[in-house]
Amino acid sequence: MIAEILAVGTELLMGQIANTNAQYLSTRMAEIGVSVYHHTVVGDNLDRAKAALSLAKERGADIVLISGGLGPTQDDITRDVVASCLGKSMNISDEIVEHIRSLFTYRGREMPENNKRQAMVIEGATVLENPRGTAPGQYVAGDGVHYFLLPGPPTELKPMYEEQVLPILRRLQGEENLVFASRYLRTYGIGESAMEIKIQDIVDSQTNPTVAPYASEGEAMIRLTASAATEAEAQALITPVETAIRERIGKYIYGVDDETLPVKVGKLLRAKGQTMATAESCTGGMIATMITDVPGCSDIFWGSVVSYHNDVKHGVLGVEESVLREHGAVSSQCARQMAEGARRTTGADWAVSVTGIAGPGGGTKEKPVGLVFVGVAGPNGTTVEEYHLRGDRHQFRLRTAKVALYDLMQRIQNDSER
């Protein structure tokens, strides 16, 4: 099957937000073996949106995934566009009106009348519920094409896809008698091109499962996707290829599927009944934010001290004034005392610290932008590593947070209780 991904929203064409939904939906299509040949973005313009929808059909799309344009204002045109292209009418759903009204009531506000637009349902459409927002999605088929109308905010679109769109696509695929299964192998410490060289022959020779490497901000991932008559058969096709890949680059693989670095660190700590804290300078709380983004982290995460100013490094974390004076805040000695101070202050079993120069300003010849020290203090002592990371301020902070989590993960894994 072929899918086209269409985003509706003038804010995308103005560059105010990025079309992250296109990447997300593309990844999901690749996982289930649906081909994507085009992404299109149009503004909140009835004629251009209609033309884009017709074009998708002309270009042979079986599935059109549309994001955005489901809000309450006159600018939110997606419902009208799809109804018009299919020659179908729309009806207001009292049930949806009541749902939206209840959301406003919960916040102690009156529902503005224009919100009723969001309750217009295309004739014959299946309503896709949106517990995270006011605009429900819709699924409607016509002239052999399957249209999915999805909300623009990724936080609403993603769960709607997982919970409601994917089962419908699976059913449509089931009519083709094929089931797809995917597995992700998460690696750290090997670049995408180095990884590709090591497994290129496997990537090239495999057709079922297909093997695809991805890279993002210092991490690299390998996706294996197999199709078969049953889920179990598809999984059985994946296993030997996964084994072959692990024989080549197993030492770089730290997790599978949704096992990100913060998730993996949490699992390791939970298994040992231990806890952690962070002491952050240049990352400014980003490591703590990543850890606490995982639900249920409160049993392993005690807290963090973001010590941007030296007074906080000294006063809260107990970094010695002589260290700050003689070696500076960006030094191995300071990273060590920050980690040990955070461990002592919070009472956690482990603490990871970072101190570095994020830029764009503040670099010197001896301590250039990109220099960072990562300390890990644990039950059996403290280690410090020095790194030189590339990228702009945001990339540097993100890469620093990841390398710190990776160092912590390795220390926890290798720690034998003495």
Interface residues for its own copies in 310-339 (CB under 8 A)?
311-312, 315-316
Residues 92/134, Cβ–Cβ less than 8 Å: no
Query: What residues from 63 to 102 belong to the interface with its own copies (CB under 8 A)?
Result: 71-73
Nearest approach in angstroms of CB 310 to its own copies is: 10
Q: Interface with its own copies includes 302 (CB under 8 A)? A: yes
CB closer to its own copies, 13 vs 244: 13
Instruction: Identify the helix (H) or strand (E) that includes residue 378.
Output: strand 371-378
Sort strands 371-378 and 276-280 into parallel, antiparallel or unpaired.
Answer: unpaired
Peptide bond into 240 cis (omega under 30): no
Query: What residues from 352 to 371 belong to the interface with its own copies (CB under 8 A)?
Result: 358-362
CB closer to its own copies, 38 vs 270: 38
**Chain centroid, CA 62 distance in Å:** 27
Could you give phi then psi for residue 290, rounded to 5 degrees?
-65, -40
CB closer to its own copies, 307 vs 331: 307
**Using the rule CB under 8 A, which residue among 87, 94, 106, 325 binds its own copies?**
106
Nearest to 266 by CA among 378, 63, 405, 160: 405
Please give the Cα distance from 309 to 307 (Å, whole number): 6
Strand partners, 181: 226
Query: What residues from 232 to 271 belong to the interface with its own copies (CB under 8 A)?
Result: none
Please give the biggest Cα pair distance in the chain. Answer: 77
**Using the rule CB under 8 A, which residue among 69, 153, 218, 378 binds its own copies?**
153
CB closer to its own copies, 45 vs 410: 45
Q: Residue count at the site for its own copies (CB under 8 A)?
A: 107
**Using the rule CB under 8 A, which residue among 83, 125, 157, 221 binds its own copies?**
221
Nearest to 251 by CA among 196, 182, 185: 185
Q: Interface with its own copies includes 189 (CB under 8 A)? A: no
CB closer to its own copies, 79 vs 142: 79
Nearest approach in angstroms of CB 418 to its own copies is: 25
At 292, the amino acid letter reads: T
Q: Interface with its own copies includes 295 (CB under 8 A)? A: yes
Residues 81/53, Cβ–Cβ less than 8 Å: yes
Q: Which stretch binds its own copies (CB under 8 A): 228-236, 250-258, 303-311, 409-417?
A: 303-311
Please give the Cα distance from 122 to 127 (Å, whole number): 9
Sort strands 145-150 and 137-142 into parallel, antiparallel or unpaired.
Answer: antiparallel
**Chain centroid, CA 381 distance in Å:** 34
Q: Interface with its own copies includes 285 (CB under 8 A)? A: yes
Q: Which stretch binds its own copies (CB under 8 A): 86-94, 164-172, 301-309, 373-381?
A: 301-309
CB closer to its own copies, 97 vs 312: 312
Output the CA torsion sign for 19, 23, 28, 33.
Answer: positive
CB closer to its own copies, 287 vs 412: 287
**Using the rule CB under 8 A, which residue among 1, 43, 62, 367 binds its own copies?**
43
Nearest to 272 by CA among 195, 353, 179, 379: 379
Q: What is the DSSP letter of 416?
A: P
CB closer to its own copies, 268 vs 329: 329
Q: Interface with its own copies includes 29 (CB under 8 A)? A: yes
**Using the rule CB under 8 A, which residue among 27, 235, 332, 382 binds its own copies?**
27
Nearest approach in angstroms of CB 123 to its own copies is: 25
